[in-house]
Amino acid sequence: MRAILIGFMGSGKTTVGRLLAAGLATEHADLDDLIVQRAGRPITTIFAERGEGYFRQMEHQTLLQALKTPGVLSTGGGTPTIAMNAISLKQSTVPVIWLTAGDQTTINRVKNDSSRPLVNELDPDALIALKRRRQSLYAAVADLTIATDQLTPRQIAHQIQEWLNQQATALQA
């Protein structure tokens, strides 16, 4: 069983992904970490030296490889907003789960994180505007949406695991 977690930065994709993978007794991969391994440099450096276009090409190639492996995958916040990535996510047979968070929750979770290139460039209002522009793109590829504001990461992972089990049971019926 596998799952892909999408959502804006600070929605909990990596934290929940690790817990979900543990609950499913499978591996967890973070797409951003896979890109860093492949490039041999941090994402902020890739953005600064080569630009977003180069990063998105590398992201797509890495996504295609990751989709072939078992386990739970946490994507970057911008991954499903790029058409070729959205198509790959939709065409895969892997359930895509969109983790959402309210505006203030998002700001609180990311405001002091210097590892996120967009946080360094955007003020809070611009960050929330970007989040809102991406919502329809996330919705277009998601099979399940979970609001994370009032739940712990463990509760979210449990909810996803229950949903995945229901999906598997429905397929067997």
Q: Which of 122, 145, 114 is nearest to 11 (CA)?
A: 145
Is residue 80 a contact partner of residue 154, using CB atoms and an 8 Å limit? no
Contact 109, 15 (CB under 8 A): no
14 labeled part of a ligand binding site? yes
116 is known to lie in a ligand binding site:
yes
Which residues on neighbouring strands pair with residue 4, listed in sequence order? 73, 96
13 is an annotated ligand-binding site residue: yes
H helix intervals, 41-123? 43-66, 83-91, 103-110, 117-121
Relative orientation angle of helices 124-141 and 83-91, to the nearest 10 degrees: 40
56 is in an annotated binding site: yes
Is 102 known to sit in a ligand binding site?
no
The whole-angstrom separation of Cα 15 and Cα 10 is: 10
Residue 77 annotated in ligand binding: yes
Tokens of 17: 């992904």
With tokens 């690790």, the residue in question is 18
- Residue 132, annotated ligand binder? no
Binding site annotation covers 51? no
Residue with structure tokens 């596998």?
2
Is 41 known to sit in a ligand binding site? no
Annotated binding site for Mg(2+): 14
Annotated binding site for ATP: 10-15, 116
Annotated binding site for substrate: 32, 56, 77, 134
Annotated binding site: 10-15, 32, 56, 77, 116, 134
